Amino acid sequence: MEEHDHDFDWKSYKGNGEEEYEGNYDFVDLNANKEQEDCTVESDVEDVANTLASEHPFKELSFMRALDLDAMNALEFPEYANADPPVVVDGEVVIGMEFNSREVVIKAAKDCTIYRGVDYRVFEPEPMTFYAKCVQYGQSCDWLIRVSVMRRKYCWEIRRYNGIHTCTRTTFSQDHSKLDSDTIVEALKPLVEADPSIEVRSVIADVQSKFNYTISYHKTWMATQKAVEKIFGGWEASYEALPAWFEVMVKKEPSTAVEYGTLPCYRSDELAQDVRVLNRVFWSFYPCIRAFRPCKPVVQVDGIRLYEKYKGMLLVAVSQNGNNNIVPIAFVLVEGETSYAWFFFLRHLRTHVVTKDGVGLISDRHESIRSAVSRCDGAWEPPRAIHMFCIRHIASNFLRKFKAPFIQKLVVNIGYSRTMAKYEIRYQRLRS
């Protein structure tokens, strides 16, 4: 544990003291001797491959000229091959149609009923049989279907089918019971993969064009979340991968700055043995560290709260280069007290990225940031740094309180004054 953590508010955690707090820091000094680094960087794969190829030149053997590649790649049992889902023409299936899994059978049945605007109910839900009847079976429709596993063919086959529905729907709905989130997910995958932040209304429009049904907002949102999880992974998997991801990142580029820490895990007020929970992580890619060197001596920090499954804060520091382009330089994910989150961020930002003096720190000067600045042992105070106001936040707060957009422009102009004379002129105009 580092000495800087001595004034962390431990009462907000279910711990017995500071000794339970564990830090795992991985950082290699930019000026360190490469021979003394406690890690090795592997040679490029391309260089190794070229070296091996030159040492062992390839010679085509005589028997390779007589190989029948078509026969080698042919299926061993072509009569049982059914890798692709069956094509349902005009929403219709036929007796003898084969499927490679129960899931594909259910999908075909759903597509058929959704296309026809009808519905069915499953009977005898056995693992080796799919047997369903129309919801109006015995009244105005005789539609039924039975699909069974054919052990000799290693597939599912339609053994009984009465043809298309003869019923007519007495009521019409914008939605369909078989158009569930799992069915929608398969149709959404290309959209979500191209744009994970796609708007719900765009998804509703796409589903309407494909299925001719307008689904509810809640069902659309649930399907979108499932699609994101199937494509990019779930919350738990992403958090579990973080430590390994950081280790690989540092090994690939040792000059990358990474610092993370964990806390003990409790279940029903009992300490879980050998289980640690990720609490905070700071990282800065080496290209970001290097890119900050020629940037303007200005750093802007801002944060946003996370409201999904895992709460906390995401903090970001950016700078500006000579072409007035924004350059991100550091990131932090922290759970817990806001003031400690900023203290953790600013301390390591100063240690690993912003090492030069005379730097301007721009923020909204929230009380938590001001408290963190005062706890950094002068690292963000004159003459090493100057803490400045963010004009955008001042203008936003002014407009929220006074509701006067025309006066808000004067406030912004005051903030952009480059000389005391211009500042006084604009300030007097604001007062008048």
Task: Tell me what the mean pLDDT of segment 257-274 comes to.
Answer: 82
> What DSSP element (H or E) covers 257?
strand 257-267
Quick one: angle between helices 181-194 and 102-116, nearest 10?
Answer: 90
Quick one: angle between helices 338-352 and 367-374, nearest 10?
Answer: 50
pLDDT digits (tens, 9 = 90+) for 239-255: 778 888 888 988 999 99
Q: How far is the C-alpha of 403 from the C-alpha of 324, rounded, in Å?
A: 31
Residue whose pair of structure tokens reads 């085509």 in the numeric block: 60
Phi/psi of residue 393, nearest 5 degrees:
-70, -40
Q: How far is the C-alpha of 209 from the C-alpha of 277, rounded, in Å?
A: 45
Q: Flag whether pLDDT at 10 surpasses 60.
A: no
Which residues are CB-contacts of 265 (< 8 A; sequence separation ≥ 6)?
271, 272, 275, 276, 277
Q: How far is the C-alpha of 308 from the C-alpha of 134, rounded, in Å?
A: 41
Query: Could you tell me which residue, 33 or 298, shows the higher pLDDT?
Result: 298
> What DSSP element (H or E) covers 395?
helix 391-402
Average pLDDT, the chain: 76
Most confident of 224-228, 324-328, 414-418: 324-328
How many other CB atoms are found less than 10 A from the CB of residue 118?
22
Q: Give the DSSP letter of residue 269.
A: T
3-class DSSP state of 302 = strand
pTM exceeds cut of 0.85: no
User: Quick one: three-class SS letters along 123-162?
Assistant: ECCCCCEEEEEECCECCCECCEEEEEEECCCCEEEEEEEC
pLDDT digits (tens, 9 = 90+) for 333-353: 988 778 889 999 999 999 999
Query: Could you tell me which residue, 206 or 356, shows the higher pLDDT?
Result: 356
Which pLDDT value is given to residue 109?
Answer: 77
> What DSSP element (H or E) covers 188?
helix 181-194
Q: What is the largest CA-CA distance in the chain?
A: 97
Which pLDDT value is given to residue 264?
Answer: 83
CB distance 98 to 155 below 8 Å: yes
